[in-house]
Amino acid sequence: MLDLFAGCGGLTRGFVDEGDFRSSGAVEFDRSAAATYAANFDPTGTHTFAGDIADFRDVPPVDLVIGGPPCQGFSALGRRDPADVRNQLWREFVRVVRDSDARMFVFENVDRFAKTPEFDLLRAAAGEGGQLADFRTQVFRLNAADFGTPQKRIRTIIVGSRIGPVSAPVASHARRPTANLPRWVTLREAFLSGPVVLDPGVRDEWLPESFLDFQGRSVPGAFKLRDLHVTKRYDLTSEIRYAHIAPGQSRLQLPEDLQYPCWRRDPVGRSDVLGRLRWDEPGVTIRTEFFKPEKGRFLHPQWENGGDQVNRALTHAEAAVVQGFDDRHVWCGSKAEIARQIGNAVPPPLARAIARVVGDRLTAA
């Protein structure tokens, strides 16, 4: 398979872990993300095209093309500008699917992609008279939590196939437990008894000094998941603010004297700012700046009134765990670059569920 807009390779991770898939190429123009991809899936570094997809011409023949163009153009958080050049990237996706002669494709994006003109255009491309006329598409709206990820994250998945339809990915977990399905994985389970247990008392601020050569340039890394268990130094007022916020609460519950002036003018909006996560639920959608508490609900869930408190945002390692990565994945780049890779990734457990139904179709054909 070929992964376009590959990022750190969250999507590939799920497909490779599912068994029968092998990556024969990836396209990613962020150098550190491309280095992360290569460190995990391309040991010789020769199959990873670290450049703009518009310049990617040597398309190898593959069975499957997977990929998720950047979502800022489509996401509710982005500018929602229909002329945004990023919205045109699906065209490049279509070109590469055609040039690769793939039998199937998987296109991933944010929930609201299904309501954009680009969504209709992509489906039209796979319709009568379109560039991918021999493909038929199926659309799935999937929540990563239903597939064993300790995170509520809803994504639109379009599966294109010219060898027949796939069955719907099968949920392994449910919001409320049923006779067949356990309830969603919580942060308590993920942090305290998951495959990677991380000490909440972390103090380290910096990644280790380590560099590797990626296509002739030096890139920080490759770091293990535990190396990413780093925090930052907060000023005292910030720590006092965080200490006032119980699980499920946010800046809205802060006493008047700890509010920023701009918040006082907006007493109800942006209710997730300085939000604290809850131990007994999955996390909320991890974004690229999860390490800044003012960017959302990213405060660590440990908080006892007057007792044991962890007054900081999630570490990079914790965010990667919430995204469903384990310690087999390694990472390259600066702290901010790695945070972007983590926040952009498709959770590998969700990718695995998709890989299973796509793999069944490819083997049956």
**Interface residue list for ligand SAM (CB under 6 A):** 5-11, 27-30, 33, 52-53, 68, 70-71, 89, 344-346
Q: Rounded to an integer, what distance in angstroms lies between the CA atom of residue 45 and that of residue 48?
A: 6
Smallest distance, ligand SAM to C-beta of residue 292, A: 19
Residue 70: Cβ within 10 Å count: 18
How far apart are CB 256 and ligand SAM at their closest, in Å?
39
Nearer to ligand SAM, 28 or 281 (CB): 28
CA torsion, points 275, 279, 285, 286, in degrees to nearest 10?
80
- Closest to ligand SAM by CB, 14 vs 282, is 14
Amino acid at 290: F
Which helix (H) or strand (E) segment holds residue 223: the answer is strand 217-223
**Cα–Cα distance, 286 to 323 (Å, whole number):** 7
Burial (CB < 10 A; 0-12, 13-18, 19+), residue 80, is: middle
**Judged by CB, which is closer to ligand SAM: 251, or 340?**
340
The conformation of residue 145, written as its DSSP 8-state character, comes to G
List, in order, residues 6 or more apart from 38 with CB less than 8 Å away. Answer: 26, 45, 47, 48, 214
Q: Is residue 26 within 8 Å of residue 8, measured between CB atoms?
A: no
Token output for 93 = 């996706």
Min. distance of Cβ 28 from ligand SAM in angstroms? 5
CA 181, 183, 186, 188 torsion-angle sign: negative
Catalytic residue chosen out of the listed positions 8, 71, 262, 332: 71
Neighbours of 326 (CB within 10 A): 14
Residues pairing with 331 in the sheet: 223
Q: Which residues contact 243 (CB under 8 A, 6 or more apart)?
A: 309, 311
Distance of closest approach, residue 346 Cβ to ligand SAM, in angstroms: 4
Report residue 165: phi and psi, to 5°.
-75, 165
Residue 36: helix, strand or coil by DSSP?
helix
Question: Catalytic site residue 8?
Answer: no
**Shortest Cβ 340–ligand SAM spacing (Å):** 7
CB of 113 to ligand SAM, least distance (A): 11
> CB 36 → ligand SAM: shortest distance, Å?
9
Are 50 and 332 spatial neighbours (Cβ–Cβ below 8 Å)? no
Residue closer to ligand SAM, measured from CB, 34 or 314: 34
Residues 6+ apart with CB under 8 A from 180: none
CB-side neighbour CA atoms (13 Å) of 321: 27
Residues labelled catalytic: 71
